Amino acid sequence: MAPFKGFWGKLKKPIIGLAPMDGITDAPYRHMICKYSRPSLVMTEFCNVEGLARGAVSMLRQFLYSETERPIVAQVYGVEAGSFYKVALMCCFLGFDGIDINMGCPAKKVARRGSGAGMIQIPEHAKKIVQTVKKACRDWSDGITLEEAEIRPKLITALKKMCPKEAARRKLPVSVKTRIGFDEIVTEKWITTLIEEEPANITLHGRTLKQMYLGEANWDEIAKAARLCKSAGISLLGNGDVRSMDDARKKIKKYGVDGVLVGRATLGNPWFFSNHEPTQEERFKVAIEHARYFEENYMDHAFFAMRKHLFWYCRDFSGAKAVRMQLMQSDSSKEVESILLQK
């Protein structure tokens, strides 16, 4: 029986999408990316299932999105199967196109609990988590309610406020994003384990947890995983050190992957997925627009969360350092506009 693929089976290949990045790929960032270029798909920042399942309503902001972002995948992480189940149902209720389980985050505070890349060390539990999220998606399509799943009333109220009209009862595909190992490379053994649970897609970052983001991503290991996934009828996306669209296409061809997810190369560059090379004037204009959108749609977050994006827009021109220093003190889009229009 072939894996259930949902939207993954309809994507035009090669797939070149936006990778999830903690603290970066929030709703305003994804909005700008999708407005100025067109990735194959986008993913949210990862959301901790234990915190949300226990009633941290404020965490739902990580699941804000607009229709222009589709297909959009909610990414989640954690270790408790029961919490994964409840949060997966919330993602179904909110109308996402898919759910991705993060099994690759290298942060110590995440991995030491057994979540993120820590899952690589507990493969049987990792398999249970995939099974649990897939079950939640089936249960949703079969008609289970949030109340029947014993999701906290204050969360249900908040979810219905976010999505007044209940999303269609469709089964969502479940995917996994992971790494080639924990403290050593175990690509073939680990990917074979994940394949047993038939995820719709696997995205593989070509570094171990021990490497964090240092050194070069190992694309030869990604190629090994691609061959295993192809035999199982599962798509495999590579991730790590993709620097341009041309680089993405070359890696896809050379290593036999179905596509790539791109992260750091998109910082300050919402045009990444197009062939457009912006002028510095355009960068300033879009930086101001980004700040305004953030302010209008995301200001339960303090404005300082916007500053790093402003930093990335302002590079490689005379006087850039001085401009960035000013922007790092800004507290509103009006201040940003005042700073950048002086240039």
pLDDT tens digits, one per residue of 266-310: 999 999 999 899 999 999 999 999 999 999 888 666 888 999 999
165 with 299, same domain: the answer is no
Give the model's pLDDT for residue 301.
66
Mean pLDDT, rounded, for 56-75: 96
The tokens for 66 are 């607009």
In a domain, 41, yes or no: yes
Q: Are residues 181 and 303 in the same domain?
A: no
Sort 275 into a burial class: Cβ within 10 Å, 0-12 / 13-18 / 19+. Answer: exposed
Do both 73 and 150 map to the same domain? yes
**How confident is the model at residue 80, as a pLDDT?**
98
Residue 273 lies in a domain: no
Q: What is d(CA 194, CA 246) in angstroms, rounded to the nearest whole number?
A: 30
Per the structure, how many domains does the chain have?
Answer: 2
Q: Which of 236, 266, 296 is the last residue of a domain?
A: 266
Residue 293 within a domain:
yes
Higher pLDDT, 111 or 100: 100
pLDDT of res. 165: 80
My answer on whether 305 and 209 are in the same domain is no
Beta bridge partners of 83: none
In the listed set 238, 266, 294, which residue is the last one of a domain according to the structure? 266
Mean pLDDT of 63-80: 97
DSSP 147-190: TTTT--HHHHHHHHHH-SSPPP--PPPEEEEEEEESSSB-HHHH
CA distances from residue 48 to 58, 110, 120 in whole angstroms, order as listed: 12, 9, 18
| Average confidence (pLDDT) over 180-189 | 95
Structural domain including 284 reads 280-341
Do 207 and 154 belong to one domain?
A: yes
In three-state form (DSSP H/G/I as H, E/B as E, the rest C), the secondary structure along 13-30 is CCEEEECCCCCCCCHHHH
Say whether both 223 and 86 belong to one domain.
yes
Could you tell me if residue 60 is inside a domain? yes
Q: What is the mean pLDDT of residues 97-124?
A: 94
Whether residue 210 is found in the same domain as residue 329: no
- Both tokens of 45, joined, read 């920042």
If you average pLDDT over residues 192-204, what whole number do you get? 98
End position of a domain, from candidates 218, 237, 266 = 266
Buried b (16+ CB within 10 A) or exposed e, 151-164: bbeebbebbeebee
- Of 58-62, 285-289, 333-337, 338-342, least confident by mean pLDDT is 338-342
Phi/psi-derived region of residue 215, left when phi > 0, alpha when psi is between -120 and 50, beta in every other case: left
- pLDDT at position 214 over 80: no
Distance, in Å, from the CA atom of 136 to the CA atom of 87, rounded to the nearest integer, reads 9
Query: What's phi and psi for 14, nearest 5 deg?
Result: -75, 150
Q: Are residues 162 and 196 in the same domain?
A: yes
